[in-house]
Amino acid sequence: MMWWGLLLLCVSGALGYYAQDEVLSLPGLKTKLNFRQWSGYLQASPGQHLHYWFVTSQRDPVNDPVVLWLNGGPGCSSLGGLLTENGPLHVKDNGRTLYTNEYSWNKVANVLYLESPAGVGFSYSDDQNYATNDIEVAESNYLALQDFFRKFPSLMSNDFYVTGESYGGVYVPSLSLKIANGPAKINLKGFAVGNGLSSTYFNDQSLVYFGYYHGLFGDTLWKNLNTYCCQGGYCNFVTNNNYYCRESVQQVFNRIYGIGLNDYSLYLNCAGGVKGKNSRFLADIKNLFQFYQFELPENAAAAQSSVPPCFNATAPFSWLNRADVRKALNIPDFVQTWELCSGVVSDNYQRIYNTMSDFYLQLLSKGYRALVYNGDTDMVCNFLGGNWFVKSLNQQKTLDYQPWIYNNQIAGFYERYGKLTFLTVKGAGHMVPMWAPARALKMFESFLANSAY
């Protein structure tokens, strides 16, 4: 054990760590860790304090990349990503104890989890005004990153990547471009988006095909969709003024989102059973079929919850809201109760970008690498829409669509367009690191190393 203690001592000096935020112990954790961690606040826009949890790499923390992880929503906490997806510590179902995640992304990188924007999780603003938008979030995250590197200056020269999922499809490229064009000397190398909302048009248009070819509609609805929404060999399911087309798309919407299917992972059961949707999901569907402004039937929108439907977040909620855990994470007493997703933030959020194509094109033109990956059973941000978005960027294909392998099994498929890769994870849903942890780590490691999948 002496050698490990000496190694940590050397690493602490090399990192120039920010001592007052360091987490030395956590309630419910009995395992001795081979990495270090910090939790505290980063200064974002004036009066805005974004909570961060930073874990060092288990491999080579001095030289390994620094990776930012952002969950989406908008309004959902990145601690959900840490404690249930790709973080090194997960909460057991009892909500009291922690266990180590064998497939944590800090196996190969230093990972920064940022709760953004203010009002999400333990993040807060002095005036408690949580109305914001895509542009303001990118600016706040950029300022918070600069504060992070002031606290950890020795990491400034490490390779840096921005990653995230879901509405992170907006957060990640918008922040990446701000870093690329900004004065801060952050060593950005690339970005990765998982099941991201990169284009509202492609996401909605593709969902109709996804639903039909996954057996969710009958022939009558499919015939109506083709009759009323299609002309001259082209179908418009997204912005069609035909009354009967709208009525048909409404049936699609209700079938996929309103009857109790697990929208985030089609072939998994819905936690709690078929009980209708909840208020958190009603916030999420503001991202979907915006032209029609559909509303779910009353019987599908009764439950009040900050948690996405069919997802059980009781364990992290219980653990994070313990007084001793908050104290260990350096959370002030006046900060709000932690929720997986904030209704206040989502209700007051202004969506500005309907497509992220300009951001991708600018970043690719500057030489940054990009990974767009999708679990292929997700219906909120489906893989087909992600693929269509990537193809719409009109980059030259350098590697044709082909399988990638993990543990002597087909893990999914991928194709390359120069520095841009599109990749699917077979059988995984919206939260790929949750439902395919080993393959997600392999994918992540390959991306960082710019090696074959």
Calculate mean pLDDT across residues 432-443: 98
Quick one: tokens of 287? 């991202």
CATH superfamily of 1-198+310-453: Alpha/Beta hydrolase fold, catalytic domain (3.40.50.1820)
For residues 199 and 84, give the distance between their C-alpha atoms in angstroms, rounded to a whole number. 26
Whether residue 10 contacts residue 17, with contact meaning beta carbons closer than 8 Å, is answered with no
Burial of 260-287, coded b for 16+ CB within 10 Å and e otherwise, reads: bbbbbbbeeebebeeebbbbbbbbbbeb
pTM, to two decimals: 0.93
pLDDT digits (tens, 9 = 90+) for 198-219: 999 999 999 999 999 999 999 9
Instruction: Give pLDDT, residue 306.
Output: 62
Instruction: With cut-offs at 50, 70 and 90, classify the pLDDT of residue 6.
Output: very low
Instruction: Give pLDDT, residue 4.
Output: 43
pLDDT digits (tens, 9 = 90+) for 29-53: 999 999 999 999 999 988 999 999 9
Mean pLDDT of all residues belonging to the chain = 92
For residues 419 and 72, give the distance between their C-alpha atoms in angstroms, rounded to a whole number. 24
Distance of CA 407 to the CA centre of its chain: 25
Quick one: tokens of 424? 């699917």
Distance of CA 114 to the CA centre of its chain: 11
166 is catalytic: yes
Least-confidence region, from 69-78, 240-249, 278-287, 393-402: 278-287
pLDDT beyond 70 at 16: no
Greater pLDDT, 1 or 253: 253
pLDDT beyond 70 at 297: no
Instruction: Give pLDDT, residue 448.
Output: 98
Instruction: Give pLDDT, residue 280.
Output: 46
Whether the CA torsion 389, 390, 391, 393 is positive or negative: it is positive
Q: Where are the beta strands (DSSP E) in 220-295?
A: 230-231, 234-235
pLDDT digits (tens, 9 = 90+) for 301-360: 445 556 677 777 889 999 999 999 999 999 999 999 999 999 999 999 999 999 999 999
Whether residue 178 contacts residue 363, with contact meaning beta carbons closer than 8 Å, is answered with no
Burial of 296-322, coded b for 16+ CB within 10 Å and e otherwise, reads: beeebbebebbbbbbbebebbbebbee
For residues 67 and 89, give the distance between their C-alpha atoms in angstroms, rounded to a whole number. 17
Instruction: Give pLDDT, residue 275.
Output: 63
For residues 403 and 423, give the distance between their C-alpha atoms in angstroms, rounded to a whole number. 9
pLDDT beyond 60 at 380: yes
Instruction: With cut-offs at 50, 70 and 90, classify the pLDDT of residue 14.
Output: low
Instruction: Give pLDDT, residue 294.
Output: 81
Count Cβ atoms below 10 Å from residue 354 Cβ, excluding itself: 15
pLDDT beyond 90 at 1: no
Catalytic residue (one of 49, 51, 90, 430) = 430
For residues 239 and 1, give the distance between their C-alpha atoms in angstroms, rounded to a whole number. 64
CATH superfamily of 200-300: Alpha/Beta hydrolase fold, catalytic domain (3.40.50.1820)
Catalytic residue (one of 166, 305, 306, 357) = 166
Calculate mean pLDDT across residues 282-306: 66
Q: Do 1-198+310-453 and 200-300 show the same overall fold?
A: yes
Whether residue 35 contacts residue 77, with contact meaning beta carbons closer than 8 Å, is answered with no
Rg (CA), the chain: 22
Instruction: Give pLDDT, residue 271.
Output: 78
pLDDT digits (tens, 9 = 90+) for 92-146: 999 999 999 999 999 999 999 999 999 999 999 999 999 999 999 999 999 999 9
SS3 content of the chain, % helix, strand, coil (to 5): 40, 20, 40
Percent of the chain with pLDDT over 90: 83
Instruction: With cut-offs at 50, 70 and 90, classify the pLDDT of residue 8.
Output: very low
Instruction: Give pLDDT, residue 180.
Output: 98
For residues 352 and 135, give the distance between their C-alpha atoms in angstroms, rounded to a whole number. 8
In the chain, where the domains are located: 1-198+310-453, 200-300
Instruction: Give pLDDT, residue 274.
Output: 73
Catalytic residue (one of 204, 263, 376, 378) = 378
